[in-house]
Structure 1
Amino acid sequence: MAGAVKLNRPPIAAQEQIVPDIVRQHVEQAAFLWAQRDMLAAQKPPDEKAIAGIDRRLEANLDGVRVAGAAAWPFIIAAYDDFPERGELFLYGWTAIEQTDGRRILEAVELGRTRDDEVHGLVGALGWHDAKAIGPLVRNWIASEDGFKRYLAVAACLEHGVDPKDLLVRLVRDPDMRVRATSLRLAGKVRRADLVREIAAALESQHEAVRLSSALALNELGHAALAKPELHKQVLANGPDALIALRTIVKIGPDKDVRAWMGGLLKSPDTASLAVRGAGMLGDRTILNWLIHQMRDPALAVAAGGALLELFPEARNADLFTLDPAEIGQAFEAHFGDFGPNLPVADKVEAWGRAAALLG
């Protein structure tokens, strides 16, 4: 198990009406399904149909955990011991909140603290529950001296679109950079126009995440001109949030200016993939032939595949992608190795496009 968090382990002895193997299946499936859902939701655009199907299965398995009650805990703990990842942390936090178990909630918080890369699972648990159910926790954490608890509280507010009112004035200046960045995004989401000055000041932060959150919030509040320079910087830096910044730039427009700017991105190997991916955000379905051409370049294929799905959602179920780079050719195998991301197969996409009369 990660870190030095000591979990309270109840004996694996279920009530008579509980079948241990069934409970274990519900636990394992719930953790797996939420992790799968989280991955799909992170894709832009997300596959809403697939997510809806997962949600139904996830709720069914969470119901199984509900019915098991305290008897589920040995299996939840064992699952986290074996796979201390975001899906298992989601289930740990969700169950603790569902059962209003203060001790388990504190354990979940400490697990999240020691697994910074998987903490989104705990945020997901807070988001899955009704806002009223987590209200007491959020009210307690949001004023805490513990920066991690403040982060969880603000992240929960962001998930539910809840405005913490006067507290947000302080939170957008919080010394904890993660709290500050999340609070800035929340200020934009709940349309706190009274905080524009504080939000704009965050553009001078030394922390990239804070500056991005400031720019996104300013755009939400109708101050795109203030946001644009930082958004451009974020794209040119090609960091982990470059696509978020790029999508916002596309929304701001105007279309002519965005296209011209993307043309510049395309000229540099450092940003060419962003230009290809951004082409899908523009909504122009006439570029399919051009996208197919980009799919033949290993460095641009993933971006071209993302643009394809954005422009043609119907392509998701057309068997146009592969996880085996060798299927496409030696250049792709050399670039990605034995296991690559979900890569579009240009020849299949071209045949599909012609059959659907999408190509001239």
Structure 2
Amino acid sequence: MSKTMWRADLNPTLRPVVSDVVRQHVEQAAFLWAQRDTLMMAELPDLKAVAGVDKRLEANLDALRIAGSAGWPFILAAYEDFPQKGELFLFTWFAIEQADRKRIAEAVELGRQSENGRGVVGALIWHKPQTIGPLVRDWIGAQDAFQRFLGASACMGHKVDPKQMLARLVCDPDTRVRAVALRLAGTLRRTDLVAEIAACLDDIDEPPRLWACWALAELGSGDLATAGLRKVAVAGGPEAMIALRAAIKAAPDKDVRAWLVELLKSPETAPLAVRGSGMLGDRGLLHWLIRQMRVPALAAPAGAAFLELFTEAREDGRLFSIESSLLGQAFADHFDGDPPFLPVADNVKDWAKERNLLD
């Protein structure tokens, strides 16, 4: 059987499509965007790695642009076989690329049924603002909460100010919409909305409360937000690092350091304090961080703090390991012989000495 498939019903130009090649581009594009999304969710994303993924992803998307509407059967089959975020991204991206209103509506419904709609939001962010502008303008004031969420998320992804609409979104009845709108207000430095944002500190749902605190910290009203941010950070939930970073930004340096010292006194909160030290921007803490790397319970946050202060260290493959023989017996015992990827304190010390960082 020929590998060439003609799809005259989907492609009026009768462009020949090599099925195996198009299928491979579909699979690669979905995989690469999912990989990119996962990388970007890291507390400290490796932007160099992300840039490499982006180049490969765009190459595969270009191939699908060339295939045109004949790519649809492969995209639909991929989503049917594996309805995950990468496949949803590709479905949505292609629907927008093709300006196919019917497929765009289907993508919205698929996003609504997914856990968080990340694939749909990712596709909106990948396209240029002028391409998605008509969709966003329709959605952002829609009666449907999920469409408003998509519209607000697109604005957030492209850092576009919806002007007077943002005040309405900050007070939206939908939790997800409020959370995104509050984050957008802080990102855009909308100081005219401080009163509306402050009112959200008493929101019945935690995500809007967190993002209200975060936005106030961004807007220079950290005195209103510090207590809430510290509470979320210490609670240790999925947004703890966001809250920790904002809490450190919200208060004077002297107060922040005093708070971190208090956290260090408890085994439960000491890892948070060690991680927070890297957010201070003080490279003079390196010697202290190396000491924390020798403590199994504190090594991971010490390593993350180190990489934040010395981003160039990512390039040296000697500095982190999963090998107990390199980390030491205390790590083997603490992690039952299976330690995670952790800094090797001696190697980090040698690296720092080579660069005269431990004077």
| TM-score, with length taken from structure 2 | 0.88
Q: 3-state DSSP class of the match of 1:93?
A: helix
- 1:320-355 residue CA offsets vs partner (Å, 9 max, x unmatched): 223566864565456557876532233332332333
Which has the larger displacement, 231-240 or 36-45? Answer: 36-45
Match of 1:148 among 133, 140, 146: 146
CA contact (8 A) 1:309 1:315 kept: yes
CA contact (8 A) 1:326 1:338 kept: no
CA distance in 2, matches of 1:249, 1:60: 40
Distance change in 2, residues 1:82/1:294 (3 Å): farther
CA distance in 2, matches of 1:248, 1:307: 15
- Equivalent in the alignment of 1:60: 59
Runs (5+) with no aligned partner, structure 1:
1-11
CA distance in 2, matches of 1:232, 1:350: 32
- 1:91-115 residue CA offsets vs partner (Å, 9 max, x unmatched): 1211111111122212221222222
- Equivalent in the alignment of 1:233: 231
- Equivalent in the alignment of 1:3: none
Match of 1:283 among 281, 284, 291: 281
Which amino acid in structure 1 is aligned with residue 20 of structure 2? D
CA distance in 1, matches of 2:67, 2:324: 44
Q: 3-state DSSP class of the match of 1:46?
A: coil
CA distance in 2, matches of 1:84, 1:321: 35
- Equivalent in the alignment of 1:8: none
CA contact (8 A) 2:233 2:241 kept: yes
1:76 aligns with 2:75: yes
How does 1:300-319 map onto structure 2 within 5 Å? 300-319=298-317
Distance change in 2, residues 1:73/1:308 (3 Å): same
Match of 2:171 among 173, 182, 186: 173
Superposition RMSD in Å: 2.4
- Equivalent in the alignment of 1:126: 124
Distance change in 2, residues 1:283/1:84 (3 Å): same
Which amino acid in structure 1 is aligned with residue 174 of structure 2? D
Q: 3-state DSSP class of the match of 1:299?
A: helix
- Equivalent in the alignment of 1:34: 33
- Equivalent in the alignment of 2:200: 202
CA distance in 2, matches of 1:153, 1:175: 15
Q: What is the number of residues matched between the two proteins?
A: 348
Distance change in 2, residues 1:57/1:337 (3 Å): farther
Which has the larger displacement, 196-205 or 67-76? Answer: 67-76
Residue 180 of structure 1 and its aligned partner are, at CA, apart by 0.9
CA contact (8 A) 2:223 2:251 kept: no
How does 1:314-353 map onto structure 2 within 5 Å? 314-319=312-317, 320-323=319-322, 328=327, 332=331, 341-353=340-352
Which has the larger displacement, 145-154 or 267-276? Answer: 267-276
CA distance in 2, matches of 1:323, 1:17: 49
Runs (5+) with no aligned partner, structure 2:
8-13
Which amino acid in structure 2 is aligned with residue 61 of structure 1? N
CA distance in 2, matches of 1:288, 1:81: 50
Which has the larger displacement, 104-113 or 291-300? Answer: 291-300
Residue 158 of structure 1 and its aligned partner are, at CA, apart by 0.9
| TM-score, with length taken from structure 1 | 0.88
Residue 221 of structure 1 and its aligned partner are, at CA, apart by 2.3
CA contact (8 A) 2:179 2:207 kept: yes
CA contact (8 A) 1:236 1:271 kept: yes
CA distance in 2, matches of 1:350, 1:84: 46
Which has the larger displacement, 155-164 or 326-335? Answer: 326-335
- Equivalent in the alignment of 1:93: 92
Query: Which protein has the larger Cα radius of gyration, Structure 1 or Structure 2?
Result: 2
CA contact (8 A) 1:44 1:310 kept: no
Residue 74 of structure 1 and its aligned partner are, at CA, apart by 2.5
Distance change in 2, residues 1:44/1:18 (3 Å): same
Q: 3-state DSSP class of the match of 1:300?
A: helix
Match of 2:222 among 210, 216, 224: 224
Q: 3-state DSSP class of the match of 1:180?
A: helix
Q: Taking every aligned residue pair, what percent have the same amino acid on both sides?
A: 59
CA contact (8 A) 1:147 1:176 kept: yes
CA contact (8 A) 2:183 2:211 kept: yes
